[in-house]
Structure 1
Amino acid sequence: MYSKQENQRLKQEFWITFAEQYPRKWVLYDTKIKDFSFKFFVDNTKAQVSIEIEHRNEEKRLAYFDKIVALKNILEDEFIKDLVYQKNHTLESGKTISKIWVEQLGITVSNRAYWNTIFDFFFEKMNALEMFYLEYDEFIKDIE
């Protein structure tokens, strides 16, 4: 069992190593859509890559989500399979967002033996989501 400080150091080392192995600029928050972002997540049970739509205006949040769902067949046939679509996802803070994600279970950030598996998963899945977004961003952005 690691102390809180050791866990923080390990996670920092994890992200630095990932950046060194896959040195590229990810889209992440640079989507040109307010509160629409791509996120990496890893803990001691899973790794996850997601699109999170956190717009305060529920109507706009749902409109962006519906745009992606309208492209679901293209997204899954041409870019990435096994996505989970959740129109109303509640965060620990109580905030409701829309979330689309894919995850890999049975891995842990605390064990360096899993790191390359996580890095490969992150790269493959985030790259696929970004390629989809870059191809269809104009359609997704057009909610007015």
Structure 2
Amino acid sequence: MYSKEEAARLRQQFWITFGKYMKPIAGAEGMPVNWVNYKTGIKHIFFRTDADQKKVSISIEITHPDAGVRALFYEQLLMFKNMLHDTLGEEWEWLPDTVNTQYIPIAKIFAERAGLSIYNQQQWPEMISFLKPRIIALDEFWINVKPVFEDLSA
């Protein structure tokens, strides 16, 4: 087991490593992107990358505090489900009503790979290889559908 400080250092080092690996990759519009902290530009819609001692995951999270608006955003994404899956080259899991780690209600669309640990540096290449094509594909998908969510948010 690691001390809290060592565990925190390993988590931080993983995300620094991932960020450095992704830095030279431009977004779908040709502009630089902060891949580790991707900004969708729409309040309450987030692209999250996560890694812990058991798995690595990537998700779209809708966090709007109003359940009706959250459901509307989710339903709109559901209309783009085929486009999303085509862009990703795989199907993701869809949860219209769940909670995040702080027990706040959210809607979530995600993919994960179990059996990988952020605390095992030998697994980092596999974790990065899982995240990289998916966050790039999400960026490509997002530039096509973002205008719809800008209109819904207005």
Q: TM-score, normalised by structure 1?
A: 0.91
The one-letter code sitting in structure 2 at the alignment partner of 1:122 is L
Runs of 4+ in 1 over 4 A off after TM superposition: none
- Conservation of the 8 A alpha-carbon contact between 1:53 and 1:97: yes
How many angstroms apart in 1 are the aligned matches of 2:138 and 2:14?
Answer: 22
Percent of aligned positions with the same letter in both sequences?
Answer: 29
Determine which of 24, 27, 34 is the counterpart of 1:26: 34
Residues 57-76 of structure 1, C-alpha deviations (whole Å, 9 max, x = no match): 11111111111111111211
Return 74-83 or 46-55, whichever deviates more: 74-83
- Structure 2 unaligned runs (5+)? 26-32
CA distance in 2, matches of 1:127, 1:40: 12
CA contact (8 A) 1:37 1:51 kept: yes
Q: Is the 8 A contact 1:49 1:122 kept in 2?
A: yes
Aligned to 1:136: 145
Would you say how many aligned residue pairs link Structure 1 and Structure 2?
144
- What TM-score does the superposition give when structure 2 sets the normalisation length? 0.85
**Which residue of structure 2 lines up, in the alignment, with residue 5 of structure 1?**
5
Contact in 1 for aligned 2:48/2:61 (Cα 8 Å): yes
Residue 41 (structure 2) pairs with residue 17 (structure 1): no
| Aligned match of 1:81 | 90
Q: Unaligned stretches of 5+ in structure 1?
A: none
CA-based RMSD of the aligned residues comes to 1.7
